[in-house]
Structure 1
Amino acid sequence: MPRKPVPVNIAEKLAGFSELWSQKTVAVLNDYEVKLAKLHGEFVWHSHEDTDELFLVISGRLTIQLRDGDVVLDPGELFVVPRGVEHCPLADEETAILLFEPTGTMNTGDAGGPMTKAAELVSS
Structure 2
Amino acid sequence: MAQIITPLTVVDIEQETQAFDSNKNIPLSFFNDHVVRVGVMTEPFYWHYHPNSDETFLVTEGILLIDLEDRTVELKPGQLFTIPANVNHRTRPLGGRSVNLTFELAGMETVRNTELT
TM value normalised by structure 2: 0.82
Aligned length in residues:
108
Distance 1:53 1:9 in 2: 22
**What is the CA-CA distance between 1:8 and the residue it aligns to?**
1.5
Deviations 1:30-81 (A, max 9, x none): 1111100110221100000111001111000011000011111001001001
Answer yes or no: is 1:8 the counterpart of 2:16: no
Q: Over the residues paired in the alignment, what is the CA RMSD in angstroms?
A: 2.1
Answer yes or no: is 1:33 the counterpart of 2:35: yes
Name the SS for the 2:71 alignment partner: coil
Answer yes or no: is 1:111 the counterpart of 2:112: yes
Deviations 1:60-115 (A, max 9, x none): 00110000111110010010011100001021320011011111325xx11189xx
Name the SS for the 2:43 alignment partner: strand
**5+ unaligned residues in a row in structure 1: which ranges?**
114-124
TM value normalised by structure 1: 0.78
**5+ unaligned residues in a row in structure 2: which ranges?**
1-5
Moved over 6 A (4+): none
Corresponding residue for residue 98 of structure 1: 101
1:41–1:92: 8 Å Cα contact kept in structure 2?
A: no
Normalized per residue, which structure has more strand? 2
